[in-house]
Amino acid sequence: MVLYEDSQRKMPVVLIETKRKYDGSALALQQIKNYAKNAGVSTMKYLFVSDGLLYWLLERDFIYELF
One DSSP character per residue, 23-62 reads --HHHHHHHHHHHHHHHTGGG-EEEEEETTTEEEEEETTE
Section 18-24 average pLDDT: 53
pLDDT band at 38 (very low <50, low <70, confident <90, very high): confident
Query: What pTM was computed for the model?
Result: 0.38
Per-residue model confidence (pLDDT) at position 17: 60
What integer best gives the mean pLDDT of the chain? 58
pLDDT at 4 over 50: no
User: Which one is predicted more confidently, 3 or 40?
Assistant: 40
